[in-house]
Amino acid sequence: MEADAADLMQWIGDPAHRIIDVRSHERYRGENEPIDPVAGHIPGAVNAFYGNYLTPEGYFRPPGELRRSFQEILDGIPADQTAFYCGSGVTAALGILAMAHAGLNLPRLYAGSWSEWITDPERPVET
C-alpha cells in the first residue's frame, strides 16, 4: 500500500497514525543533510533508522526482536495506519520488508519521501 503527501499532511498530529522516518538520526534531526536542500523531518514522525533492522552481517534481525521493536514504535497503532519514508523511498521499503519479516501487517510506503516532501513550501518541516 502507498501513502502520498496529502495522506501524511492529514496524519500530522493524529494519534491514530504513525509516520516513521528510517533515515539516519543525524538526517532526521536536521544536523546533516547530504542530498536534499532542506534538512529535518516530517512533523510528528518517529525515527527508526533502517540499519537497526539488520545484523552486522547484513541480515534481518530475528523476527521476534524486530516485532518487539516495531510494537514499541507503533504503540498500538495498526500497521495500515502507519507510513514509512526515507530520503527517496528506497530504504523505507526495507523498513516495510523488516516489518513483514517480523510477522506484522504491512504498513504504507510514502515513496516520494523527504525529497518530494520538501518540494512544497506549504508542507511543514521539523528539526
Q: Are the C-beta atoms of residues 63 and 84 closer than 8 Å to each other?
A: no
pLDDT of residue 87: 97
Q: Are the C-beta atoms of residues 36 and 87 closer than 8 Å to each other?
A: yes
CATH of residue 35's domain is 3.40.250.10
126 assigned to some structural domain: no
For residue 92, what are the domain limits? 5-117
Q: Structure pTM?
A: 0.96
Q: Let me know if 86 is a catalytic residue.
A: yes
Residue that has been written with the C-alpha cell 523505507 in this structure? 92
pLDDT of residue 123: 98
For residues 73-80, give the mean pLDDT: 96
Task: Please count the residues of the chain.
Answer: 127
pLDDT of residue 111: 97
pLDDT tens-digit map of 89-124: 999 999 999 999 999 999 999 999 999 999 999 999
Candidates 19, 22, 74, 86; catalytic one: 86
pLDDT tens-digit map of 48-69: 999 999 999 999 999 999 999 9
123 assigned to some structural domain: no
pLDDT of residue 75: 96
In the chain, the number of structural domains is 1
33 assigned to some structural domain: yes
85 assigned to some structural domain: yes
Identify the helix (H) or strand (E) that includes residue 84.
strand 82-85
For residue 68 the three cell numbers come to 518487539
Residues β-bridged to residue 54: 60
Residue 76 DSSP label: T
Three-class DSSP labels, 21-62: ECCCHHHHHCCCCCCCCCCCECCCCEECCHHHHECCCCCECC
